[in-house]
Structure formats: structure tokens, C-alpha cells
Structure 1
Amino acid sequence: MAGGIQQRGGRGRTRPMSEINVTPLVDVMLVLLIVFMVAAPLLTVGIEVELPETEAQALTEQTEPLAVTLTGEGTIFVQESEIAYDDLVPHLQAVSAAGYDQRIYVRADKGVLYDDVARVMGRLNAAGFTSIGLLTE
């Protein structure tokens, strides 16, 4: 013991590391980013239909649009509520009376006949809804 204090393993005292390791933080953030990117399109409208693909621009509206959906089986939905064809206009007029004056979007499965889509759009137009849009992929 020449020198007073014997050192372990022949090394001197090490200073504590003062750097923050950000690698785990970056890993978690990337995983969350991927999860949200995958989940975001699924949160739009709950009725699953296979929309036709077009080269149209994406919608940029901030509010949730009112969507009328026609499924491949011929079922009609307003948002996520199933509606009979004869009850479509009274239901939308009740929504309109509650203050909704935005555009109504029609979503139809690509297997739905053009005739069925035209009948629903004609019914909407006859009920006084003049701002009607078609949604595609």
C-alpha cells in the first residue's frame, strides 16, 4: 500500500456520465409514429366499403363530414347508423334542421350499381340537399 488508498482494478475513480441516452426515446417515438400512421385512416368512417380509386385531390375539411354510405349488399348508412331507403330523407332533414348545412358525401362500394348510387343522390337532391360529393380513394 504505497500511496495511501489502494485502487480497484488499477483504475482511478470514474466520473458519472452526464449525457442523456436518447436512443430509447427515438425508438419509442418512431413506433408511436408508425402506429398512428396506420390507425389514422381507420378512424374516419366506421363502415367498411371498397371505394373506387381516382386521381382526385384529398379533402381538406376540418370538421367531420356527413357521409351516406352504400355497401356492396345494398345497405344504406348515415355515418354509422343503418337507415332504410325510405327513411333516408326524413333522417337527413332532421340533421339539417339541427343546423348542419355542410356538404353531404356519398360513399359507395365499387361493386354497387351506378343506378343505386344515382337513386340515392337523386333522393338527396329532391330533399333539398344541393351540395353532394362523391368520395373515392
Structure 2
Amino acid sequence: MAGSRKFVKASTPPNSEINVTPLVDVVLVLLIIFMVVTPLLEKDIEVRIPETEETPVEEMPQDNSQLIVKLDADGTFSINTDPVSPDEYVNKLRRMLAAKKKEDRIVFFVANDQANYGKLVAAFDGAKQAGAFVLGMATEDIPAAAQAAPAGDPGAVPAPAPAPAP
């Protein structure tokens, strides 16, 4: 009888269902850990915001040496309200910036909300190639009074018209 094997048959078939109790225990422990740790992770981010004040249009300093590049929704450039083709954009901006000291070579950009982002980046690159020292983004459009540029100075921004009296 040494050669025969005997097997013991289980009285119940094997259970193939997942035992949920340990799973629930682990999930509850993780939940408690996250509930304790989450308030510790919330840190205030300090942001310094510049103070602003409303200045009436007639009291604003008149600086006629600013360069404002506007990008319309259809992709056309204009420098101080003068339309410029993309081919001559860099050369015209270079001529305007050449007359200024390095620290005064500031170019502001105003882009339409529907303007192509790639064209705006190309305008930034073109301004840097033209010799701009500082690039700035304007959040508001050029005032309506500034749309008519004087013919004498192509690089000048016209003074805004005074506000009407109430």
C-alpha cells in the first residue's frame, strides 16, 4: 500500500467570492489618513498685487514715445494704429526703436481675444529681433480717441481726448 495515494475531499466547494471585510478596513484607514493630512497640505500662497487707482483721462501723463503693437482677430498687425504687413513689421519696428535709448525700448502689445496665439508669439519674437528691451501686454484696447495718429510722428501715440463733462 505504499504506492497508493489518498486524497481528502473538502466537504464544501471552494469559495471564489472576494472577502470584503479587509477591503473595507483598508479603505476606511486610508480615508481617515487623507482626512487628517488634507488640512495640513492647504497652505496660503502669498501673491503681491500692485495697488491700483483710477486716474481720469485728462490727468494721465502724455507720453508720445510709447509703441503699441495691436494684433487683430484676422491676424493683421498695426503699430500705433498704422497697419503693417507681417513682412515689414520687424523692419518698421527696428527703425522706430533705433532712435531710442536701450532702456526706453518698450513695446506694448494689445491682442484681440480671437487672435491666433502663434501670430502673437511671432509678434513678440519680431519685437525682440527689432531690439525691444521690454515687452508688455496691455489688458485693455487702445482708447477710441487714440485711433487717429498724427501724421508728423509715426512712432507717437496720440494724446487721449478729455472726458466729456456731465
Report the TM-score when normalising by structure 1.
0.52
After superposition, the C-alpha distances for 1:8-38 in whole angstroms (9 at most, x for unaligned) are xxxxxxxxxxxxxxxxxxxxxxxxxxxxxxx
How many angstroms apart in 1 are the aligned matches of 2:75 and 2:89? Answer: 14
Correspondence for 1:116 among 110, 115, 119: 119
1:130 aligned residue: 133
Number of residues paired by the alignment? 83
Aligned residue number for residue 88 of structure 1 = 89
The structure number with the bigger radius of gyration is 2
The CA RMSD measured in Å over matched residues stands at 2.6
Distance 1:61 1:126, change over 3 A: farther
Task: Find the partner of 2:106 among 103, 119, 136.
Answer: 103
Structure 1 CA distance for aligned equivalents of residues 95 and 130 of structure 2 = 11
Alignment of 1:1-137 (within 5 A): 62-64=62-64, 65-99=66-100, 101-137=104-140
Give the distance between the partners of 1:72 and 1:92, measured in 2 at CA. Answer: 21
Deviations 1:52-76 (A, max 9, x none): xxx9858976414210100111111
The aligned amino acid for 1:123 is G
Residue 129 to residue 61, structure 1, CA distance change in 2 (3 Å): farther
Mapped to 2, the partners of 1:114 and 1:130 lie a distance apart of: 22
What is the rounded CA distance, in whole Å, between the counterparts of 1:122 and 1:109 in structure 2?
18
Unpaired segments ≥5 residues, structure 2: 1-48, 141-166
**Structure 2 counterpart SS, 1:86:** coil
Q: Is the 8 A contact 2:105 2:131 kept in 1?
A: no
1:76 counterpart letter in structure 2: F
Sequence identity of aligned pairs in percent? 23
- Cα distance in 1 between the residues matched to 2:100 and 2:129: 19
